[in-house]
Structure 1
Amino acid sequence: CTHVQPPPRGTLQVLRGNGTSVGTIIVFHCPSGHQMVGSGLLTCAWKGSVAEWSSVTPMCKSVPPYETFGFKVAVIASIVSCAIILLMSMAFLTCCLVRCMKRSEQPSDRATQLWLQLRAGDLETVPPAYLGLKGVNISNSGGGGGGPAGRPGQAHDNYSFT
């Protein structure tokens, strides 16, 4: 067989034989960033009365580097969406906590609750001691309409203005 040269930017390795005798096997290699076009294995064999290689010498074709722009965009989009989800979760939890705090700040003292529930008309029927008032005059009897200064049903502290 004829002497074989390695392809441009490639190498060859003789696995068997001397490189030109019948039965010689040659393997071709391409460097990183290149792809082999053609058969990577040649064998020298008889074809009729002439010794020939099993195929033509391969070529090493350069391969463009992988495009990473799409991957970078996907990573940035994932980070942004995670940040938005985190922000919305924090806002939701803050809203829930504020709502719970407002509920717990509502009057829980029994006297305060009763005071807020009573209507103006109900105050006359509640005993003064129950409301924490001492020395209250709730008498409706007496001259001029039942209470001091003629105002019926109005309670006054006996200790004021003495």
Structure 2
Amino acid sequence: MKNFLVLLVLSLSFTSCKKDKSDSVPQPQVTYEELLAGKVHNYWDISKITVDGQEDDVNWACMKDNVWVFNRNAEFLELCIGLKCESLELPSYRGAWNFSSDKKVLNVTEDNWSYSYKLIKLTDSELIVSYYDDDKHLIEFTLNKIESQSN
């Protein structure tokens, strides 16, 4: 009988130590759209470009000073700052963006072109996307969010 009472007391003490799941505060879920575009917009700076896994600062130097802007209203803006890729390149291009329904693809359209980028990584500070160019080379962009006070 004494052993039974000891087991009963021990079992009650273990069950009372369990953390009640209802006491935990639920964490808000951040959507892909909010990670990419913030509450109003986010500015992203291209920090690295690779071609078939090799960093390429020579052929893509004109892109590395561009800034991509994603607005919550699905508007996309590319600001071409510094080096120009083409002599007739405009200072900026407007377009639109959206995610595929499974959030694995970031679609960007701008003037006369559109890309479907494979979404590799999206955090509150880093965006990594890739696509295959016309010559079947794998192009990968790594972008870092530029902190903004108005976001």
TM-score bracket for the superposition, by shorter chain length = under 0.3
Task: Give the number of the structure whose alpha-carbon radius of gyration is greater.
Answer: 1
Q: Which has the higher helix share?
A: 1
TM-score by length of 1: 0.25
Q: TM-score, normalised by structure 2?
A: 0.26
Q: Which has the higher strand share?
A: 2
